[in-house]
Amino acid sequence: MKRTITLQFILIVIITVISTLALAIMAFYRSFTDEIRDDLKSYAGVVMSAGVFASDKIISADNMRVTMTDSAGVVIYDTDSATGRDFSGRPEIGEAMDKGEGFSVSHIKHDNKNMFYYTRKIEDGNILRIGKRTDSRLNMLYNSIPQIVFIVLFMAAASSVLAYFLTKTLIKPLEGMAEDINAGKEVNVYKELEPFAEMIKQQHEDILKNANMRQEFTANVSHELKTPLTSISGYAELIENGMATEADGVRFAGEIHKSSKRLLTLIDDIIRLSELDVMDRNVDIEDVDIYDIAYNCVSMLQLSAERHNVTIEMSGKRNTVHANKEMMEELVYNLCDNAIRYNKAGGTVNVSVDSVVDENGQNRVILDVKDTGIGISKEHQERIFERFYRVDKSRSKSTGGTGLGLAIVKHIVAQHHISMELESEKGRGTEIKVIF
């Protein structure tokens, strides 16, 4: 970037210098022409007022050509050529015949010079012509090439030094920005770059947060897997060493079975979460009847509810939502399963699907899972959607919980751009609403 800015800067300076020089030469040549014309005019005045031309003794000066023609343009006298030649075709002679005065510039190819002519008609009808030879435009440019080259080189060198420092000051805030963002400091850059800096800073923080979350998750996963594996390994070792009686053997096998089942559920949930992470965008969305899904889920959980001495009921009416069917089944299942597992003996779970018109006049479908269970105190309410967060770890474990159910629910809700509301009171119950 620095290199590009410096090179562009130098290029701009060189182009500016060259075009300024070209313009200056053109302007100079123009005023030079005007000056010569004035010179020739006053010289003609001198010649005429001296009256010398009448006596054929025309005064001449260096570099000057003086010509006298008769009124028809035939040369009577010329410092540079013979008399008798017809000059009536020359533009400056014609102009003097017509207007009394004329001016012309002609290029002499063989020595690359210009010839300036001024003509004037005098009293007796004769025409006086004064000529002056000068360098041509090209020649003048050619003669000033050393100066031009010097100026261009000087300017290029000066602009290189200037460009170097200018680029350095220009880039400095950007370099500072990169350093500050890495150091997590408040960035101080050009006003125009503030949104950009803010965005990068935000992304940087997100990346850090994500990395931290992943690290924490990996640590948690290892820890969660370790507990059942340690138990499996311990019981197996006892059996292997012949330290278990026959009755123990059956009990130990039961423990091993329970821990393996726990391992499998944990692994299932972990795989599910990482699947949800990966398929962030590519999910099949279709019209699904959320009442149907909830109804099937309630039927499926009847047995589990009976085992927990909980009544589960379904109410509401058919409602279609735009969603992924499998994910909706998972969402409803996790919410109902929790409502049963964190309930009290003799408690109830009410699942309903309804539609309401919101303040913007839009029809909204609401899935509501309400229980009369143990409830969640305020300080835990925000955290229960985090991975592996459990209010009461032993209760969660003893009912087959992994601490990932609500994290999966949260993920599904975010993916469907729908919202979720939690209302809970410790000891009284919990209500979770999913609003489509």
- Those residues whose C-beta lies under 8 Å from the C-beta of residue 329, and which sit 6 or more positions away, are 293, 296, 297
Candidates 10, 351, 374, 434; binder of ligand ADP (CB under 6 A) is 374
State the DSSP code for 110.
T
Question: Do 318 and 289 touch, CB atoms closer than 8 A?
Answer: yes
Instruction: Choose between 43 and 389: whose C-beta lies nearer to ligand ADP.
Output: 389
- How near is the Cβ of 416 to ligand ADP at its closest, in Å? 18
**Residue 351 interacting with ligand ADP (CB under 6 A):** no
For ligand ADP, the binding residues in 395-434 under the rule CB under 6 A are: 396, 401-407, 430
Nearest to ligand ADP of 46, 271 (CB atom): 271
Q: Strands of 311-362 (E only): list them.
A: 311-316, 320-323, 348-357
- Of 319, 371, 412, 420, the one binding ligand ADP (CB under 6 A) is 371
Instruction: Tell me the C-alpha distance between 326 and 313, whole Å.
Output: 22
Cβ closest to ligand ADP, residue 78 vs residue 330: 330
**What SS3 state is found at 359?**
coil
By DSSP bridging, strand 348-357 and strand 363-371 are: antiparallel
Task: Please state the closest distance from residue 399 (CB atom) to ligand ADP, in A.
Answer: 7
CB 426 within 8 A of CB 354: no
Contact 233, 400 (CB under 8 A): no
For residues 43 to 62, the per-residue mask of contacts with ligand ADP, x marking binding by CB under 6 A and - elsewhere, is --------------------
- What is the smallest separation between the CB atom of 380 and ligand ADP, expressed in angstroms? 7
Judged by CB under 6 A, the stretch of 59-67, 240-248, 296-304, 391-399 that binds ligand ADP is: 391-399
Tell me whether residue 197 or residue 339 sits nearer to ligand ADP (CB atom): 339
Strand, coil or helix: 16: helix
Our finding on whether 102 is near ligand ADP (CB under 6 A) is: no
List C-alpha distances in Å: 72 to 54, 81, 152, 286, 377: 17, 18, 53, 103, 122
HEC-encoded secondary structure of 181-229: HHCCCCCCCCHHHHHHHHHHHHHHHHHHHHHHHHHHHHHHHHHHHHHHH
Asked if 179 is part of the footprint of ligand ADP (rule: CB under 6 A), the reply reads: no
| 376 touching ligand ADP, by CB under 6 A | yes
Rg of the chain, C-alpha, whole Å: 50
Q: Which of 338, 416, 418, 420 binds ligand ADP (CB under 6 A)?
A: 338
- CA dihedral sign of residues 417, 423, 426, 430: negative
Considering only 44, 177, 298, 339, the residue that binds ligand ADP (CB under 6 A) is 339
Tell me if 347 contacts ligand ADP by CB under 6 A: no
Per-residue contact string for residues 149-168; x = within reach of ligand ADP by CB under 6 A: --------------------
Number of residues that bind ligand ADP (CB under 6 A): 23
Nearer to ligand ADP, 204 or 226 (CB): 226
Tell me the residue type at 385.
Answer: F
For residue 385, the minimal CB distance to ligand ADP (Å) is: 7
DSSP 8-state class, residue 328: H
Of 131 and 401, nearer to ligand ADP (C-beta) is 401
At closest approach, how far in Å is the CB of 212 from ligand ADP? Answer: 20
Q: 3-class SS at 395? A: helix
* Residue span binding ligand ADP (CB under 6 A) among the ranges 57-65, 76-84, 241-249, 335-343: 335-343
Residues that bind ligand ADP (CB under 6 A): 334, 338-339, 342, 371, 373-376, 384, 389-392, 396, 401-407, 430
